[in-house]
Amino acid sequence: MVNTEFTACRVQYLLFSTLKRTNFCLSTDSEIVSSLPLQMSLYFNVYFFPFWWLSSVVMLQMKYAVLSDYYKFILVTVMILASLIEIIRLYLGYIGNLQEKVPELAGFWLLTLLLQLPIILFLLFNEGLKILPLERLVNIIFALFLIFQVIAASTTLKRMVNKLATHFRLNEFDRLEEHPCA
């Protein structure tokens, strides 16, 4: 067993030192893994959100008198929650994507998939809310933004995690080169 560990350690050391001698570039520090489509989507979403909010509030005011008390409470609560979640979600998306921070981007992805998308789908498909045409239109656009962002953030997260894992492995090789197996 000790001989196998020694051999594996030696092979890793020889492989890495050979790659360094041949000037094979293994650096992942210069690779940018931020997603331009995700960033563009976030950018347009920042400008769309106030329009969505304003139109939703105006539509809520127009239909408030005809809603049941149950739906009045639900709709006001959903609007407040959706607004707060959206501000936090967009902030995490910007920071996570531009600064390539996995926890922030993962938080953005989770907020989008588990909270914001179900809320918007509720607003889009619950007929008890007496959905008006403008309201349906802005909720469809918002849902399309969210679906695209879930997909784009998922692929970006995979690339970021792979880059970090590669960087971690290369650091392990650096430590191995500094202290080779005896």
What does the pLDDT look like over 19-57, one tens digit per residue?
Answer: 444 444 444 457 889 999 999 999 999 999 999 999 999
Is residue 109 in some structural domain? yes
Is residue 15 in some structural domain? no
What CA–CA distance (Å, rounded) separates 6 from 4?
Answer: 5
Is residue 47 in some structural domain? yes
What CA–CA distance (Å, rounded) separates 169 from 177?
Answer: 12
Q: Is 28 left (phi over 0), alpha (psi -120 to 50) or beta?
A: alpha
Predicted confidence at residue 8, as pLDDT, reads: 45
Is residue 177 predicted with pLDDT exceeding 90?
no
Is residue 140 in some structural domain? yes
Domain count along the chain: 1
Is residue 11 in some structural domain? no
Is residue 91 predicted with pLDDT exceeding 70?
yes
Tokens representing 150 are: 């879930």
Give percent of the chain with pLDDT exceeding 90.
Answer: 71
Predicted confidence at residue 15, as pLDDT, reads: 43
Provide the residue type at 168 as one letter.
F
Q: What per-residue string of b and e applies to 100-118 under the rule 16 or more CB within 10 Å gives b?
A: beeebbbbbbebbbebbbe
Predicted confidence at residue 24, as pLDDT, reads: 43
Is residue 52 in some structural domain? yes
Tokens representing 161 are: 């995690």
The domain in which residue 46 lies consists of: 35-154
Is residue 176 in some structural domain? no
| From 5-9, 31-35, 49-53, 81-85, the region with the lowest mean pLDDT | 5-9
Is residue 12 in some structural domain? no
First to last CA, the chain: 16
pLDDT (mean) for 144-154: 98
